[in-house]
Amino acid sequence: MVYLLTILKGLKHRHAAGARLPNLTILFPVKRSKFLSPESEKRINVAGRVGCAVSAMLRRLGLHYKGDESYGKIRISGISLRRWFKPKVSFTSYAGKLADFTSSKSHLAKEITNQQRNIRSSYRID
């Protein structure tokens, strides 16, 4: 996963420099398992731990991909990478001015503070 994040960081710098982003294809090891059904013996592909972890990380990051980890192949297109690297710009609906941008760290700190306040207020011992 660290290797994939390092590649994404390098692609971010290439995108900032104006270069065209390539498609990424990630290959995972896949296990073949046998199981008995009433009709016959069947084989299925089962994703390994690495494939499940990487696809879960991509879903959490909001990076769209095609393919499935149980087939052992995930493809991330250059267009979806470019969209993912673009910052989200929000406008106010009435004035057309840019809304205040808060950094993700300050937003996270505010949410943690709110959670702590809610926990303290709901668990008071009289």
Q: Could you list the residue range(s) of the whole structural domain that residue 14 is in?
A: 2-85
Residue 118 lies in a domain: no
> Rg of the chain over CA atoms, in angstroms?
22
Decide: 33 and 46 in contact? Cβ < 8 Å: yes
Axis crossing angle, helix 78-85 with helix 2-16, rounded to the nearest 10 = 80
Say if residue 15 is exposed, middle or buried (CB neighbours under 10 Å; 0-12, 13-18, 19+): middle
Residue at 101 is within a domain: no
Give the model's pLDDT for residue 77.
94
Domain assignment present for residue 37? The answer is yes
CATH of the domain at 59: 3.30.1370
What pLDDT was estimated at residue 88?
Answer: 65
In eight-state DSSP terms, residue 71 is G
Q: Are 70 and 45 in contact (CB under 8 A)?
A: yes
Cβ-count burial 81-115 (b if 16+ within 10 Å, e if not): beebeeeeeeeeeeeeeeeeeeeeeeeeeeeeeee
The predicted-structure confidence for 37-59, as pLDDT tens digits, reads as follows 788 888 877 778 888 888 888 98
Give the whole-angstrom CA distance, residue 30 versus residue 111.
Answer: 39
Token pair of 16 as six digits: 């900032």
With a pLDDT cut of 90, the percent of the chain lying above it is 17
pLDDT value for 97? 47
Residue 104 lies in a domain: no
Q: Which residue has the higher pLDDT, 8 or 70?
A: 8
**66-117 pLDDT per residue, tens:** 988 888 889 999 999 999 888 666 554 444 444 445 566 777 778 888 887 8
The chain-wide mean pLDDT, for the chain, equals 80
In this structure, is residue 44 part of a structural domain?
Answer: yes
